[in-house]
Amino acid sequence: MRADAICFDKDGTLFDFAKTWNVWAGQVIADLADGDTDLHEGIARACGYDIATESILDHSPIIAATNRQVAESMASAIPGCKVEDIERHLTLTAASAPLAPAVPLLPFLTDLTRRGIALGVMTNDTEYGARAHLKSAGVLDRFDFVAGFDSGYGAKPSPDPLLAFCSSVSAEPARSVMVGDSSHDLRAGRAAGMQTVGVLTGLAVEADLGPYADVVLPDIGHLTTWLIG
């Protein structure tokens, strides 16, 4: 096996990004606009959401930024609105967003743990949201480490949360893998001295991830073959 430990990003990696988050983002924007068409368009523009196609654009902070940063982008279009109020709304609604697993997660993760691999999740979402999603998918107990941007280790692309993962599971960074769908994930992994695997279940294409990845796979389901090879 190439590794003793694997840290996964959440959105776009464990869960298909577009299928999970496009509907949620559209509803949040509508909630905040409260029927005001101009405000609706302004919020969508500020956070990188296309109302016509009902989809998150590839430059949107929703893809890889923290909840706080997404809230700040939305608040910039709402006069007199408190960032903290939007951030709270994002946290609560995101925790119940409809999930679309990239692959059947339970058998996939169970196979990795049976092979003796320690597993973790590090997301720029909140830890609350991460735990809610993993519990909803029935796989929270498969992970030895779960962290969000607010867990005290920092946020990607900083390597600090990934080094915290390696320390938590007593794994050497060189024998650990960071798996993600964005350059934030892979840059963090490289900076931590980890192996890096890109997956195409987010909005990035292979050309975006290739410069930062040891390999780019269609989805996490192909990871086991790569680990053994």
User: According to the model, what pLDDT value does residue 225 have?
Assistant: 96
Residue 98 confidence (pLDDT) = 86
Report the C-alpha dihedral over residues 46, 47, 49, 50, rounded to 10 degrees: 10
> 165 and 64 share a domain?
no
Q: Structural domain tally of the chain?
A: 2
- C-alpha 54/C-alpha 172 separation (Å) is 42
Last residue of a domain, one of 94, 127, 148: 94
Residue that is last in its domain, among 42, 59, 94 = 94
pLDDT for 97 equals 87
pLDDT confidence of residue 218: 98
Residues 85 and 139 placed together within one structural domain of the fold = no
Are 53 and 86 within one domain? Answer: yes
pLDDT of residue 187: 98
- The pLDDT of residue 212 is 98
Q: Is 203 in the same domain as 108?
A: yes
What tokens were used for 80? 């007199």
Give the pLDDT of residue 229.
Answer: 81
115 and 189 housed in the same domain: yes
Q: Shortest CA distance to 12 belongs to which of 189, 193, 215, 186?
A: 186
Which pLDDT score, from 0 to 100, does residue 6 have?
98
Same domain, 78 and 44: yes
Does residue 77 share a domain with residue 39? yes
Residues of the chain falling short of pLDDT 50: none
pLDDT at 87: 95
Pure H helices in the chain: 17-33, 37-47, 67-75, 83-94, 105-114, 127-136, 160-168, 183-191, 206-209, 223-228
Q: State whether 30 and 81 are in the same domain.
A: yes
Same domain, 170 and 221: yes
Cα–Cα distance for residue pair 82/66, rounded to 1 Å: 17
173 and 213 housed in the same domain = yes
Same domain? 144 vs 119:
yes
CA 87, 209, 104, 18 torsion: positive or negative? Answer: positive
Last residue within a domain, chosen from 44, 74, 94: 94
Q: What is the CATH number of the domain that holds 181?
A: 3.40.50.1000
Q: pTM score, two decimals?
A: 0.89
Query: Domain range for residue 32?
Result: 21-94
**Quick one: 118 and 62 in the same domain?**
no
Give the pLDDT of residue 64: 87
